[in-house]
Amino acid sequence: MKFWKKAFYLTGILLVILLASLPAGCGKQKEAATPAAKEKVVVIAPKYEGDHLNPVLGYGRYGGSKFFNGLVRFDENLNLVPDLAESWEVSPDGKTYTFKLRPDVKWHDGKEFTAHDVKFTYEKIRDPNVASPLKPFFDFVEEITVVDDHTIKIQLSKPYAPFLEKLVVGIVPGHLLEGKDIKTAEFNQHPVGTGPFKFVEWKKGEKLVMVANQEYFRGKPKIDRVVVSFIPDENTRLLQVTKGEVDAAFLPPKLAAKAQSEKIKIYTVPTGEWCGLGLPYKNPLFQDIRLRQAIAYAIDKQAVVDRILEGKGEPASNPLRSNHRAYNPEAKKYPYDPEKAKALLAGAGWRDTNNDGVLEKAGKPLRFTLLYAADDVLRKDICTAVKTDLKKVGVDVELAGLSWDQIKPRMDTDATLFFWATVYDVDDPNYQIWHSQFIGQGWNNPACYQNKKVDELLEKGRATLEEGERKKIYAELQQILAEEQPVVFIAHMDHTYAASTRIKGIKVQPEGHSGYLTEGLWWNLEEWELPE
Q: Tell me 304's DSSP state.
A: I
Per-residue DSSP letter, 335: -
Q: What is the pLDDT of residues 21-50, one digit of tens each?
A: 434 443 334 444 555 678 999 999 999 999
Position 34 scores a pLDDT of: 52
Question: What confidence tens digit (pLDDT) does each residue in 415-448 have?
Answer: 999 999 988 999 999 999 999 999 988 889 999 9
Measured torsion, CA atoms of residues 331, 337, 341, 347, in degrees rounded to the nearest 10: -80
Euclidean distance between CA atoms 324 and 371, whole angstroms: 29
Is residue 434 within 8 A of residue 445, CB to CB? The reply is yes
| pLDDT digit string, tens, across residues 457-482 | 999 999 999 999 999 999 999 999 99
C-alpha distances out from residue 50 to 54, 174, 216, 278, 370, Å: 11, 23, 25, 24, 25
476-503 exposure pattern, b = at least 16 Cβ within 10 A, e = fewer: bbbbbbbebbbbbbbbbbbbbbbbbeeb
Element (H, E) at 500: strand 495-500
What 3-state class would DSSP assign to 280?
coil
Q: Are strands 495-500 and 264-269 parallel, antiparallel or unpaired?
A: antiparallel
Identify the pLDDT of residue 7: 38
Length of the chain: 532
Res 10 pLDDT > 90: no
In the chain the first and final C-alpha atoms are separated, in Å, by: 64
**Angle CA 102–104–105, to nearest 5:** 85
Domains of the chain: 54-188 (3.90.76.10), 199-269+495-510+521-527 (3.40.190.10), 273-493 (3.10.105.10)
pLDDT digits (tens, 9 = 90+) for 67-110: 999 999 999 999 999 999 999 999 999 999 999 999 999 999 99
Average pLDDT score over the chain: 92
Question: Edge-to-edge, what's the strand order for the sheet holding 41-45?
Answer: 197-203, 207-212, 225-229, 41-45, 248-251, 495-500, 264-269
Enter the pTM of the model.
Answer: 0.87
- Residue 263's pLDDT band (cuts 50, 70, 90): very high
